[in-house]
């Protein structure tokens, strides 16, 4: 069975794909569609090695339970490569953890990565514009 790991940067149409294609296509199983997946993704990204090793089997078990035999399984998180809440983390280690988790699931035979990219100057302008509007929405005094 095939698994696609989609790690999109923000502002590269990843949210559009998740909302309008991956989640609606009848041959696709979007395994990150529920809120519970978010807590496991945060563990993969932010836990130190000792705590991660203690949680690893629970994380594997969760994602294994989401895999469907007759569908194309997609792990998709457009914010996986972006630190949230100003927490720093090691992207390379997080991707390695994610890959190892799915390698350990016996029924997955083929893992492919799908990475959305964009010209940096366009990405920064779009991201800045979006964040500016979010901040203004919450604090009208900044305008």
- The per-residue pLDDT for 16 is 87
Rounded to whole angstroms, how far apart are CA atoms 72 and 110?
11
Q: What is the pLDDT along the chain (143 residues), one digit of tens a residue?
A: 899 999 877 778 888 888 899 999 999 999 998 889 999 999 999 999 999 999 999 999 999 999 999 999 999 988 887 766 556 778 899 999 999 999 999 999 999 998 877 787 887 787 777 776 667 666 666 55
Q: How many CB atoms lie within 10 A of CB 88?
A: 7
Helices of type H across 7-119: 14-17, 35-46, 49-66, 91-103
CB 5 within 8 A of CB 108: no
Q: Which residues make Cβ contacts (< 8 Å) with residue 28, sequence separation at least 6?
A: 21, 22, 71, 72, 74
Phi-psi region of 53 (alpha: psi -120 to 50; beta: other; left: phi over 0): alpha
- The per-residue pLDDT for 140 is 61
- The per-residue pLDDT for 87 is 66
Query: Of how many residues is the chain composed?
Result: 143
How far is C-alpha 104 from the chain's CA centre? 18
């Amino acid at each position: 069975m095939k698994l696609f790991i989609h790690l999109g940067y923000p502002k590269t149409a990843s949210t559009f794909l998740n909302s309008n294609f991956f989640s609606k296509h009848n041959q696709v199983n979007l395994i990150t569609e529920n809120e519970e997946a978010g807590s496991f993704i945060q563990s993969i990204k932010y836990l130190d090695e000792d705590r991660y090793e203690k949680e690893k089997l629970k994380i594997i078990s969760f994602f294994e339970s989401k895999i469907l035999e007759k569908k194309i399984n997609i792990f998709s998180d457009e914010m996986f490569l972006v630190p949230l809440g100003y927490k720093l983390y090691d992207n390379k280690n997080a991707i390695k953890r994610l890959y190892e988790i799915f390698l350990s699931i016996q029924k997955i035979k083929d893992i492919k990565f799908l990475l959305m990219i964009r010209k940096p100057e366009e990405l920064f302008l779009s991201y800045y514009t979006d964040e500016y509007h979010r901040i203004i929405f919450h604090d009208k005094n900044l305008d």
